[in-house]
Structures are given as C-alpha cells and as structure tokens.
Structure 1
Amino acid sequence: MPDWLEVVLRTEFAIITLFVLTRLLGKRQVSQLSLFEYINGISLGGLAVYISLHREAKWYLGFVSLSVWILMSLGIEYLQLKSKTARNWIDSKETIVIKNGKILENNLKKERITSDELLEQLRKKNIFKTSDVEFAIIEPNGEINALVKNEHQPLTAAHLGIRVKPEQEPQTVIMDGAIMDEPLARTGMNREWLHTELEKLGVTIENVFLGQVDSYGEFHADLFDDRITVPEPQQRASLLAQLKKCEADLEMFGLSTNNEPIKQMYLQCSKKLEKMISDLKPLLIQ
C-alpha cells in the first residue's frame, strides 16, 4: 500500500473514532471547558494525530489508547455527577471577586486574574463600574458572572407588579421559500391564513427567505431581497387603538345624554373598559 494512502486511511479512521468517542462525552465537552476537559481535549487530539502519521506504530494501539482516555473521562464525569467533593476537586470551586461593590484583591491574585481582565469581563456584561456590582464570582470554567445592585438593575414588569403573558417559541413556517406545515399546524393556523398574511405584505412565498409566527399569532417575514422593507405587524397596535376609541365613545355617550341611569351605565362601562385597557396594555404595546 502506498504511504500516502495509508496515511489517508489512518486519518479517516482516527477522525471517525474520535468523533464517535467524543459524542459519548456529551455536549458539555464542546461548550465551556473545565480544566480537566481542556486537558482531555488536547490529549485526544494529540492521540488522533499520532495514529494518523506514525506509520511505524501499530494502528490499533492508538485506538486502544483513545478508548482508554474516553472511558476514563466517562468515569470521571460520572464521579462528578455523584459527588460534590469530586466536582470541587476536579473542576475547582467558584471564587467571589467582588462583594458589596468592593473588589477582593486577594481572591483575584489567587485566581491570577488582573484588574484589566476583571474589567473586561464586566464590560462584556454592560457593567462599567465595579461599585454597581452586588457581587461577582469566577466560575470553574473561568467565566466571571456578576449581579448588579438592585438600584442599578433595569426596570421590569415584575418591579411594577405587572403580570405579562409568557413568551412562546416562535414557529418557523416558511424557510427558503417553502411552507413548513408542521410548525404552521403548531401555531393553530393553516395555509389559507398564511397566504392572507403574505397578501397583506404584498409578497409571494417564493420571495420569503424566512417566515415566523410569534406567540401573539403575528407573522414576520424576511425576504431574499434585502432592499425591500417589510412592514411590521400592526394587529396589536390596531386593537389597542380600537379599544381606546370604544372607551372614548362610551364616555361621550354618557356625557351627551340627560337620562341619569343611562348616563351612569355608559360611564361605568367606560371605566371598566379603561381598566381592561390598562391590564392589556403591556401585551398590546409593540
């Protein structure tokens, strides 16, 4: 067998074996790496290269070595799942670096993190003053997470005591100019409704690169031709405007009549509708 062909075959076998064995380790191996996973990844890659290029070595011994590495990794990950002590020893523990707006310099030195690196990590989270941080910790994978003090956190519906409808996953109903029937059925809509929405936008299915339906039942489209601007859905804004008009009409009817019982009925209905609009407004504002 020619040398180049042997190298090609050994490399293909190494890649396939490495891929299959790495899949056994799960997605955690390809996300944020811990210290052990970092060492493990380098070692597995080195072994795969050794199998590919060292023709004088017996090829099956390299695969045995790869298998042992994977089995050891699986054993250690199983131990980590079962034991908090093992997790702390293998991956180490998180370290607090900021507490009550004060930087803990000794902990920074312990983790060998400079002040520039700390500030860089905070800026990635839109935090530019350490005094705004309630506390920050370095995770075992080296990432810094921070909790901003309450007075510096953005105002949310929860702070205002407003209950909002939970967002559902948008469903992709058109992809590359083709209708996706299964996601469309999950929205409770059909093809006739979809064609109607496309007619409102003045486009055809063939011109739609991606079409999605959000949790409010509104259709959003991205076209192949980026020069064409697609108007945003206005159903919620239109409904809010109609409700406000009804409220104004009820109030006007109440003020225009001299019949006291009817006047009170209109005004009471107007107040009830006003309260309903206030409750629905967070859902109807785009």
Structure 2
Amino acid sequence: MSDWLLIILRTLLAIAVLFIMTKLLGKRQISQLSLFEYITGITIGSLAAYTSLEMDQKWHLSVISLSVWVGVSLGIEFLQIKSKKARDFIDGKPRVIIKDGKILEDNLKKERLTTDELMEQLRKKDVFLASDVEFAIMEPNGEINVLLTKENQPLTPKHLGITVAPVKEPQVVIMDGNVMDEPLAVMGLNRGWLDAELEKMGVSIENVLFGQVDAYGQLYVDLFDDQIRVPKPQNKATLLSTLKKCEADLEMFSLSTTAPNAKKMYEECAKELERVIKEVRPLLIR
C-alpha cells in the first residue's frame, strides 16, 4: 500500500477513535475544562495526530496509549463524582474574592489575579463598582460569579408582589419549511391548528425558515425572505381587551337596570371579572 493512502486510512481511523473516546469522556471536555481536563485534551489530540502520521509499523501502540489516557480520565471523573475531597484536590476549591463590597487582597494574590483583571471580569457581569458587590467568588474553572447587594439587584415580579405562572419550554414546530410533528404533539397541537395560524398570517409552510410556539400557544415565524414582515401575534392583547370590554358591559348593565336582583348580580359579576383580570394581566401583557 502506498504511503499517502496509508496516511489517509490512519487519519480516518484516528478521527473515528478520537470521536468515540471524546463521546465517552462526555460534554465536560467541550465546555469549561479543569486543569487536568485541559492537559488530557491536548495529550489526546497529540496522540491522535501521531497515530495518523507515524509510518512505523508499531503505530498501533499510540492507539493503546490513547486508550490508557481516556481510561485514566474516565477513572478520575468517576472518582470526582464519588468524592468531594477528590474534586477539591483535582479541580480546586472556589475562593471568595469580594465580600460585603470589600476586595480580599490575600485571596486575590492566591489566585494570581490583579485588580485590573478582577475589574475586567466584573465589567463582563455589568458591574462597574466593586462596592455594589455583596459577594464575588472565583470558581475552579476561573470564572467569577457575582451577587449584587439588595439595592443593586434587578427588580423582579417577586419584589413587586406579582405572581407569574411558570413558563413552559417553547417548541420549534417548523424548521427549514418542514413541520415538526413531535413538538406540536408536546404542546397539545396538530397540523390543522398550525395551518390555521399560518393562514391568519398569510404565510405558507414552504416559505417558513423557522417557526416556534411559546408557552402561551402563540406562533412566531421567521421567513426565508427577510424583506417580508410578518405581524406579531396579538392573541393575548385581544383576550385582555375582550375581558375589559366584558367588565365594562357588566357595569353598564348594572347601571341601566332597575331590578334590584339583576343590579346586584351584574355588580358581583363585574367585581369578580375585575379580580380575574387583575390576576391574569401580568400573563397577558408579557
């Protein structure tokens, strides 16, 4: 067999082995790496390259070495899952950098981090004053996570005493002009509903690049032709206005009738509907 053909075959073999072993190591190898995982990734890549280019008859020994590295990595990951001490020793411990708005210089030195680098990391978190930080910690992967003081935290519905419903996961129902039946079924919908919604928009499925249904059953689409503007769904706004109209009608009925029982009934219904509107309003104005 000629050398060039042999190298092609070995390269393909190295790619296949590397892909399989990377899958075994899991997603952590392609996300935030610890120090050991970083070293492992470099070494495994080097061994795979050696396997594809080495012309020696003993090239298969590099595959054995590659397998040993992966086996050791799997063993260490299993040990980290089982033992907190092993995690602390291999990955290191989180370290507090800022506490109560005060930078802890000793911990900063232990992490070999300058104040300039610290402020750069804070700015990435949209924090420009160290005094605004209640608590900042450097994670084992080198990332700094920040907790702002109460007065500097973003306002949430909880702070305002507003109850909001949990939001379900949006589902992609159209992709590249093709209908995705399984996500439709997850939302309790079908193709008939989808066709009706697209007809309201004046759009055909073939022209839709991407279609998504949110937790409230509203369809959002993006077309292949970026020049065409699709109107946003108004179902929630329409529902809110309909409820308000019903409340106004009930109040008008209570004022226009002279029958005491009917007047009382209309007033009670109007008050009950007002209470319902107050509860659902946060959901319908999002």
TM-score (norm. length: structure 1):
0.95
Q: CA deviation at 1:263?
A: 2.8
The 5-angstrom pairing of residues 30-41 of structure 1 reads 30-41=30-41
Q: Distance in 2 between matches of 1:175 and 1:51?
A: 40
The letter of the residue matching 2:127 is I
1:13 matches 2:13: yes
SS of structure 1 residue aligned to 2:157: coil
RMSD, matched Cα: 1.5
The letter of the residue matching 2:199 is E
User: Match of 2:278?
Assistant: 278
Q: Is the 8 A contact 1:11 1:51 kept in 2?
A: yes
The letter of the residue matching 2:73 is S
> Quick check: 119-128 or 205-214, which moved more?
119-128
User: Match of 1:181?
Assistant: 181
- Segments of 5+ residues of structure 1 without an aligned counterpart are none
The 5-angstrom pairing of residues 94-133 of structure 1 reads 94-133=94-133
Q: CA deviation at 1:265?
A: 2.7
Superposed CA deviations along residues 219-243 of structure 1, whole A, max 9, x for unmatched, are: 1111111111111111110010011
User: Match of 1:78?
Assistant: 78
The 5-angstrom pairing of residues 206-221 of structure 1 reads 206-221=206-221
Superposed CA deviations along residues 200-230 of structure 1, whole A, max 9, x for unmatched, are: 1011111111111111111111111111111
Q: CA deviation at 1:252?
A: 2.1
Q: Distance in 2 between matches of 1:56 and 1:250?
A: 91
Alignment identity in percent? 64
User: Match of 1:153?
Assistant: 153
Q: Distance in 2 between matches of 1:181 and 1:48?
A: 41
The 5-angstrom pairing of residues 112-261 of structure 1 reads 112-261=112-261
Q: Distance in 2 between matches of 1:77 and 1:160?
A: 44
User: Match of 1:49?
Assistant: 49
Q: CA deviation at 1:273?
A: 1.1
Q: Is the 8 A contact 1:247 1:273 kept in 2?
A: yes
- Segments of 5+ residues of structure 2 without an aligned counterpart are none
1:59 matches 2:63: no
The letter of the residue matching 1:109 is K
SS of structure 1 residue aligned to 2:222: strand
SS of structure 2 residue aligned to 1:167: coil
Q: Distance in 1 between matches of 2:22 and 2:185?
A: 37
User: Match of 1:269?
Assistant: 269
Q: CA deviation at 1:251?
A: 1.6
Q: Distance in 2 between matches of 1:108 and 1:230?
A: 52
Q: Distance in 2 between matches of 1:201 and 1:260?
A: 47
Q: Distance in 1 between matches of 2:271 and 2:129?
A: 46
Q: Is the 8 A contact 1:10 1:59 kept in 2?
A: no
Superposed CA deviations along residues 104-133 of structure 1, whole A, max 9, x for unmatched, are: 122111111122222222222222221111
Q: Distance in 1 between matches of 2:230 and 2:115?
A: 46
Superposed CA deviations along residues 168-196 of structure 1, whole A, max 9, x for unmatched, are: 11122211112222222222222221111
The letter of the residue matching 1:40 is T
Q: Distance in 2 between matches of 1:259 and 1:17?
A: 86
SS of structure 2 residue aligned to 1:228: coil
The letter of the residue matching 2:237 is A
User: Match of 1:93?
Assistant: 93
**Corresponding pairs, count:** 286
> Quick check: 269-278 or 122-131, which moved more?
122-131
SS of structure 1 residue aligned to 2:121: helix
Q: Distance in 1 between matches of 2:160 and 2:87?
A: 40
Q: Distance in 1 between matches of 2:57 and 2:110?
A: 43
